[in-house]
Structure 1
Amino acid sequence: MSSLLHRTGPFAHRNARLYVLFTVLYNARAYYPVLAVFFVDLGLTLERFVFLNLMWALAIFTLEVPSGALADTLGRKKLMVFASVLMVIEMTILLFAPKNGGTLLFALCILNRLLSGTSEAAASGADEAIAYDALPEEGRDQAWDEVLSAAMRWRAAGFLIAMALGGLLYDPVWLAKLGIHIPVEIAHRLPAAVVFCQGIACVIITSRLEETPRHEEGTTGERCRTAFRLTMQTAKMAFTTRSIAVVIVGGLLIDSVARNFATVNSEYFRLIGIPEWAFGFIGAATGLTNFFVPEIARKLNARFSPLGVLGIAGALAVLALALLAPAWPWFGILPSMMLMTLLGLVGFTVSRHLHGCADSSQRATLLSVRGLAFNVGYGSVSLGFSLLLAKMREVHGDDAFRQALLWQLPVIAVGIALFFAWAWRVKSKSGR
C-alpha cells in the first residue's frame, strides 16, 4: 500500500493508481449493508427484491461480453466513463423513487437494476485491462499481483468505511442519539446519496485515465463488427479451453451462492435479531477481514492449483451455509462474514489465472466472459431462491426466509461436490 501512496513500483503509472481509486469508489457502496431492507422499506416484497437481482443479472447477460469486446476495440476509457455516468443515473432513481409507489415504484426499481447491470458490464474487464496493459511488459505479472493485492486491500478499507457509514445513516434512531433529527424517509435515502457522490467522483477519475493503445483502427461500424467477431472467438476459446472453463465454472458456483446471500444479508440480520444500526458495523468488520484476504489468496495460489484453491473455497462455502441455515441469534454473523470473504478469494484466484491465459488484444473480452458466466450463475441462483421463497411463503408464511435457507443447503452442497469431483477426475485423467 505504501508504493501506491508514494507512486512507486507499478503505481508510478497513472492508470494503476486511478484503477485502485475507481474500484474502491465504484464497489464500496454505502447502501450495501441495508440493500434488502432498503427496497423492502420502499414498499417491495422480499420476493420482488430477489427478482430485481435477476433483472440486474439479465442486463449483465446481455451486455457483459459485448461490452468487453467494445472496450478492446472502441476503447476501454470510453466504457469506464460510460459506466460511471450510469452509476450516477441509477443512484438518482433511488433518491427519487416514490415510497409505496406500487407499479411505478417497481418499474423504477427494475430500471435501476437494469442500469446498474449495464454499468457493471461496461466497467467489468475494461477496468482491469486498462490498468494491466499500462504496466511495463517486463515483470508485468508480478507487478499486476501487487496492483491487484493493493486494490483488494484499499477496497476492503473502503468497504469498512462505507458499511459503517451506510448502517448508521439508515437508522434515524441512531442519528437522533447524535443530535441529528431527520425524518425516516430522508434517513433511508442517505446511503444512496453517498453513493451518488461516489458516482460523480468515478466520472472524474475515469475521465483522467490514459487509453491503452489496444483498440482497432477503422470506422465505428468496422470496429463494432470486429468487436462481435472478438466476442464469439473469445467466448469459444474460454469454454473450449479446459483449464479456463473449469476455473470459470468452479468460481461462478461459489461466487453466485455468496453474492445471492450478500444481497439478502440485511434481511438475515433482521431474522437473527440484529438491530439496524449494527448492520453497517458488521459490514465494516467484514471489510476489515477482507483486508487480509489478498495475502492469504497469494499464498494459497502459490501452493495450490487454481482448482485446488477453489475446492477449498467451495468446502468453506458449504460449511458457512450449514451454519447460516439454523439462523442462530447473533452467532449467524460469523458464517455470514466467512461467506463474504470467499468472494475476494475466488475473485483473486480466477482473475490471476485468466490474466496469465489472456492475450493483450482480448484481455477485456476474456474478463468479460468471466463476468458474464459469474452473473449468469448469480442470476440463476437468485431466480431459484426467489421461487423457493415464494413456495415457502405459501407453506410457512412469515417463516419463509428461514425455511428457504434450510432448503437451499442440500441442493448447493450436492451441486458443488459433484462439480469438483468431476473436475478433479478430468484433471487427473489429462495429467494437468
Structure 2
Amino acid sequence: MSSLLRRTGPFAHRNARLYVLFTVLYNARAYYPVLAVFFTDLGLTLERFVFLNLMWALAIFTLEVPSGALADTLGRKKLLVFAAVLMVIEMSILLLAPKNGGTLLFAMCILNRLLSGASEAAASGADEAIAYDALPEEGRESAWDEVMSAAMRWRAAGFLVAMTLGGLLYDPSWLAMVGIVIPVEVAHRLPVAVVFCQGLACVAITLRLEETPHHAIGTARERCASAFRLTMRTAKMAFTTRSIAVIILGGLLIDSVARNFATVNSQYFRLIGIPEWAFGFIGALTGVLSFFVPEIARRLNARFSPLGVLGIAGTLAVVALGLLAPAWPWIGVLPSMLLMTLLGLVGFTVSRHLHGCAESSQRATLLSVRGLAFNVGYGSVSLGFSLLLARMRELHGDDAFRAALLWQLPAVAVMIALFFVWAWRGRRAERGA
C-alpha cells in the first residue's frame, strides 16, 4: 500500500494507480450491508428480490464476453467510461423508485438490475486488462501480484468505510439518540445517494485512464466483427483447455454460493436478531478480515496448485454453510464472515491463474469469460434459491428463510464434492498419461 501512496514500483504507472481507485469506488458500495432489506423495505418480497439477482445475472450472461471482446478491439477505456456512466444511471433509478409502488416499483428494480449487470459486464476484465498491459513486460507477473494485493487491501479499507456508513445511514435511530431526526424514508435512500456520488467519481477516474493497445484496426463494423470472432475463439479455448476450464468451474461453484448469500445476508442478520444499525459494523469487520486475505492467498498459491487452493476454499464454504444453517443468534455472524472472505481468496486464485494463461490480445476477453461463467453460476444459484424459498414458504410459512438455509447445505456439499473428485481424477489421469 505504501508503494501506491509513494507512486513507486508498479504504481509509477498511472493506470495501475487509477485501477486501484476505480475498483475501490466501483465495488465498495454503501448499500451492500442493507441490500436485501432495502429492496424488501421498498415493498418487494424476498423471492422477488432473489429473482432480481437472476435478472442481473442474465444481463451479464448476454453482455459479459462481448464486452470483453469489445474492450480488446475497440478499447478498454471506452468500456470503463461506459460502465461508470451506467453506475450513475442505475443509482438514479433506485433514488427515484416509489415505495410500495407495485408493478412500477418492480419494473424499475428490474431495470436497475439490468443496468447494473450491463455495467458490471463492461467493467469486468477491462479494468484489470488496462492496468496489467500498462505494466512493463519485464517482471510483469510479480508487479501484477503487487497491484492486485494492493487493490484487495484498498478494497478492504473501502468496504470498512462503506459498510459502516451504509448501516448507520440506513437506520436513523442512533442519530435520534443525539437529537438528530431523519425521516426513515429519507434514511433508507442515503446509502444509495452515497453510491451515486461514487459513480460520479468513477466517471472522472475512467476519463483519466490511458488507453492500452487493443490490437484491432479497420472500421467500427470490422472491429465489431473482429470482436465476435475473438469472443468465439477465446470461449472455445477457455472451455477446451482443461487447466483453464477446471479453475473457472471450481471457482464459480464456490463464488456463486458465497455471492448468493452475500445478497441476502442482511435478511439473515434480521433472522438472527441483529439490529439494523449493526449491519454496517459487521460488514466493516468483514472488510478488516479481508485485508489479510491477499497475503494468505499469495502464500497458499505459492505452496499449493490453484486447484488445491480452491479445494481448501470449497471445504471452508461447506463448513460455513453448515454453521449458518442453525441460525444461531449473534454467533451466526461468524460463519457469514468466513463465507465472505472466501470471495477474495477465490478471486485472487482464479485471476492469478488466468493472467498467466492469457495472451495480451485476448486478456480482457478471457477475463470476461471467467466473469460470464461466474455470473451464470451465480444466476443459477439465485434462481434455485428463489424456487427453494417459494417452496419453503408453502411448507413453513414465515420460517421459510431458515428452512431454505438448511436445505441448501446438502445440495451445495454434494456439488462441490463431486466437482473436486472429478477434477482430481482428471489431473491424475493426465499425469499418468
Normalising by structure 2, we get a TM-score of 0.99
Q: CA deviation at 1:174?
A: 1.4
Q: CA deviation at 1:35?
A: 0.1
Asked if 1:289 is matched to 2:289, the reply is: yes
Q: CA deviation at 1:192?
A: 0.1
State the distance in 1 between where 2:387 and 2:241 align.
Answer: 34
Q: Which amino acid aligns with 1:356?
A: G
Describe how 1:167-186 pairs up with structure 2 within 5 A: 167-186=167-186
Asked if 1:157 is matched to 2:182, the reply is: no
State the distance in 2 between where 1:6 and 1:178 align.
Answer: 41
Sequence identity of aligned pairs in percent? Answer: 86
1:26-63 CA-partner distances (Å, limit 9, x unpaired): 00000000000000000000000000000000000000
Deviates more, 1:378-387 or 1:213-222: 213-222
Question: For residue 30 of structure 1, what is the aligned residue in structure 2?
Answer: 30
Describe how 1:209-288 pairs up with structure 2 within 5 A: 209-288=209-288
Describe how 1:37-48 pairs up with structure 2 within 5 A: 37-48=37-48
Gaps of 5+ in 1: none
Query: Contact 2:74–2:223 at 8 Å: present in 1 too?
Result: yes
SS of the aligned residue for 2:216 comes to coil
What root-mean-square deviation, in Å, do the aligned CA atoms of Structure 1 and Structure 2 show? Answer: 0.6
State the distance in 2 between where 1:145 and 1:369 align.
Answer: 21
Q: Which amino acid aligns with 1:196?
A: F
State the distance in 2 between where 1:366 and 1:252 align.
Answer: 15
Q: CA deviation at 1:176?
A: 1.4
State the distance in 2 between where 1:258 and 1:289 align.
Answer: 16
1:301-338 CA-partner distances (Å, limit 9, x unpaired): 00000000000000000000000000000000000000
State the distance in 2 between where 1:326 and 1:370 align.
Answer: 33
Question: For residue 77 of structure 2, what is the aligned residue in structure 1?
Answer: 77
State the distance in 1 between where 2:174 and 2:111 align.
Answer: 31
State the distance in 1 between where 2:85 and 2:178 align.
Answer: 34
State the distance in 2 between where 1:49 and 1:244 align.
Answer: 33
1:226-246 CA-partner distances (Å, limit 9, x unpaired): 000000000000000000000
State the distance in 2 between where 1:179 and 1:406 align.
Answer: 42
State the distance in 1 between where 2:320 and 2:79 align.
Answer: 36
Asked if 1:146 is matched to 2:139, the reply is: no
Question: For residue 52 of structure 2, what is the aligned residue in structure 1?
Answer: 52
Question: For residue 105 of structure 2, what is the aligned residue in structure 1?
Answer: 105
Question: For residue 200 of structure 2, what is the aligned residue in structure 1?
Answer: 200
Query: Contact 1:169–1:191 at 8 Å: present in 2 too?
Result: yes
State the distance in 2 between where 1:177 and 1:166 align.
Answer: 18
Q: CA deviation at 1:180?
A: 2.1
1:337-368 CA-partner distances (Å, limit 9, x unpaired): 00000000000000000000000000000000
Q: CA deviation at 1:177?
A: 2.1
Asked if 1:336 is matched to 2:336, the reply is: yes
Describe how 1:120-139 pairs up with structure 2 within 5 A: 120-139=120-139
Q: CA deviation at 1:213?
A: 1.4
Q: CA deviation at 1:214?
A: 2.1
State the distance in 2 between where 1:413 and 1:214 align.
Answer: 42
State the distance in 1 between where 2:342 and 2:420 align.
Answer: 17
Gaps of 5+ in 2: none
Q: Which amino acid aligns with 1:181?
A: V
State the distance in 1 between where 2:318 and 2:421 align.
Answer: 15
State the distance in 2 between where 1:8 and 1:201 align.
Answer: 24
1:346-397 CA-partner distances (Å, limit 9, x unpaired): 0000000000000000000000000000000000000000000000001100
Q: CA deviation at 1:431?
A: 1.2
Question: For residue 306 of structure 2, what is the aligned residue in structure 1?
Answer: 306
SS of the aligned residue for 1:431 comes to helix
State the distance in 2 between where 1:351 and 1:8 align.
Answer: 23
Question: For residue 3 of structure 2, what is the aligned residue in structure 1?
Answer: 3
Q: CA deviation at 1:146?
A: 0.1
Q: Which amino acid aligns with 2:10?
A: P
Normalising by structure 1, we get a TM-score of 1.00
SS of the aligned residue for 2:263 comes to helix
Query: Contact 1:71–1:215 at 8 Å: present in 2 too?
Result: no
